[in-house]
Amino acid sequence: MYAVLRITFIKNMKQLSTTDHSRDIAGLKYVYPVLSRRAGGVSIGINFNTNNACNWRCVYCQVPDLQRGVAPLIDFTVLEKELHCFFQQLKAGTFYTQFNVPESLQQIKDIALSGNGEPTSVQEFARAIDLVAETALHYQVLPRCHFVLITNGSLMHQKNVQQGLQRLHDYGGEVWFKIDGGNLDGRKMINDCRDDNERIIEKLQYSSQLCHSKIQTCLFDYPRFPWNEQAQEPFLQFFQQIKAQCDIQDVMLYTLARPSLQPEAHELRALTSTEMQAFAQKIERLGFTVSVT
């Protein structure tokens, strides 16, 4: 039943790398493996945004030909076949050798609903979560690894998204909610986002009430938004607001690892480890648990 997809999977074999998160690395439409520096092993990515469309436009985005929009309809027949094909390779033990994965990283760390745009913009979001989770459970990939939704959080107020978050919670999953700026001006510049702090807190409350949620923040230096005290202070004030109003304990900080494919790419500088750790300590003083990549 899955023979054709399996041939494509092997034929398009590449070596996995933390610097190459290509969505077509396995020759599949929806499923792609990556070596995740944050997870410390193999992450199984699920890409619903096969049209490279997102409702935000982040200056550090690595998606080629990014366009504004929403995810297309899912072909659930194809998604199901790809999931079976992929998990069969894992079960057979051939995946790691096919993709030349170093022995130290030969572990599935998570299944991540992520990809080339905002995953919650897909219709039948809850159905898609059910299909991914039930297939992973069948092959005993879940609950051995994490099940993660990586999202900009912009659609948390929508009923279909909330239904999906409830299903994610039922499977023991969690939400990584993107917050890249401490005020509207910063987020406009970085994400082309129009939500003010109060609106983001409202959406973060929806998320954290329905499913275990963490904040994920990309830090970098950008001439139009320099990484200095003036940029950090609104961030810290906003995190203080979040601490007071949301059930959020964890903040994950990371910086640039791969080149942006947006026009602003040449203006962006990754922060040093010293800069990252210094800001992490400031957030920890607010009462959060902070991880730094």
Which residues are CB-contacts of 278 (< 8 A; sequence separation ≥ 6)? Answer: none
Distance CA(243)–CA(142), nearest Å, equals 31
State the average pLDDT over residues 28-36. 88
CB 168 within 8 A of CB 211: yes
pLDDT at 8 over 50: no
pLDDT, greater one: 43 or 80:
80
Determine contact, residues 48/119, Cβ cutoff 8 Å. yes
Give residue 101's pLDDT.
84
- Which of 52-56, 89-93, 249-253 shows the lowest per-residue confidence on average (mean pLDDT)? 89-93
The string of pLDDT tens digits covering residues 171-222 is: 999 999 999 999 999 999 999 999 999 999 999 999 999 999 999 999 999 9
Of 203, 112, 193, 200, which Cα lies nearest the Cα of 162? 203
Sequence-separated contacts (24+) of 187-195 with Cβ below 8 Å: 189/59, 189/222, 189/224, 189/225, 190/58, 190/59, 190/60, 190/222, 190/225, 191/56, 191/57, 191/58, 191/59, 191/152, 192/56, 192/57, 192/58, 193/56, 193/152, 193/154, 195/154
The residue assigned the tokens 């990309």 is 218
**What pLDDT, on a 0 to 100 scale, did the predictor assign at position 7?**
36
Q: Is the pLDDT of residue 25 over 60?
A: no
Region 232-237: what's the mean pLDDT? 96
Position 44 pLDDT exceeds 70: yes
pTM, 2 dp: 0.90
The pLDDT of 7-14, averaged and rounded, is: 46
Average pLDDT over residues 83-97: 86
Angle formed at CA 218 by CA 216 and CA 222, multiple of 5 degrees: 160
Q: How confident is the model at residue 5, as a pLDDT?
A: 47
- The domains found in the chain, sorted by start residue, are 3-292 (3.20.20.70)
DSSP secondary structure code for residue 178 in this structure: E
Residues near 231 by beta carbon (within 8 Å), at least 6 away in sequence: 182, 186, 225
pLDDT band at 41 (very low <50, low <70, confident <90, very high): confident
Helix or strand run (H / E) with residue 106: none
Mean pLDDT (the chain, rounded)? 90
Which tens digit of pLDDT belongs to each residue from 49-82? 999 999 999 999 999 999 999 999 999 999 999 9
pLDDT confidence band for 15 (50 / 70 / 90): low
3-state DSSP assignment of residue 290: strand
Reduced to 3 states (helix: H, G, I; strand: E, B; else coil), residue 246 is coil
Residue 11 DSSP symbol: H
42-51, 85-94, 169-178: the lowest-pLDDT one: 85-94
Q: For the segment 124-162, what is each residue's pLDDT rounded down to a tens digit? A: 999 999 999 999 999 999 999 999 999 999 999 999 999
- In this prediction, residue 89 carries a pLDDT of 86
Q: Tell me the sheet residues that pair with 20.
A: 17
Residue 4 has pLDDT above 70, yes or no: no
